[in-house]
Amino acid sequence: MTGVTTSELLAVVAARELRDDTTVFAGVGVPLLAAALAKQRHAPRLTLVIEGGIIGPEIAPGRLPISTNEMRAGRRATMLPGITDAFLFAQRGFVDTGFMGGAQIDRYGNVNTSVIGADYWAPKVRLPGTGGANDIASLCREVIIVTPHERRRFVERVDFVTSPGWLRGDGSRHQAGLRFGGVSRVVTTLGILGFDPESRRMRIEAVHPGVSVATIREHTGFELPEAPRVETTEPPSAEELERLRALDPERRFLG
């Protein structure tokens, strides 16, 4: 898609996944951009939750926060509780959707943001860790992962399960005590991936314009089946891009 950056594509497609009259736990950057765009366009009653303990803020165009704890993130917020209370709301079932990224993701939607390498104590790369990501993956009613689509990210098995998806599939998430939630979608720079409702294995559900199923498979480190019907996503419209770019005119997150 000419003239559209990968970050813009991710933000627009992810925004379309959000629904009105729901609550989304969104981190700063592309997830917050997507949530703010959805609230502007088609979900005016979408409630944003930010990890620093901010409920229901209004994100001002051109004033996008760069941290979950700065005052711009709390503009006209409904509530400013403590950070632990924000996660308590999720634990009590009040947060519908969690937005996440990650360094690695496997066929069952498990996410690694801790270490790259087989030895946790002597890894090749030590990553930032969980922050609130484990809580989001465990406690939100559904999780949407937003990530670039690269073979090094989509691996057969993550080196460390920071945030649980469907674990080993076939009911293993429920058996582990996580009685609700799970990853519903993976929005990438190549398409949209979902999960088989029985096995919980990742599958191709949509491709972006100009992208083939073969290209998605080429950039994935494990076997990736197709859903019964593979759709083609609508490219970002001029209006979506205009609103999105107004939110981040300095392009700190849009690239």
Query: Exactly one of 8, 17, 51, 240 is catalytic; which is it?
Result: 51
Distance CA 239, CA 138 (A): 35
- 8: closest CA among 183, 203, 208? 208
Distance CA 170, CA 198 (A): 7
Distance CA 163, CA 98 (A): 12
- Whether 205 is catalytic is no
Distance CA 34, CA 23 (A): 13
Per DSSP, the residues of 43-63 read: -TTPEEEETTTEES--PPTT-
Supply the residues annotated as catalytic. Answer: 51
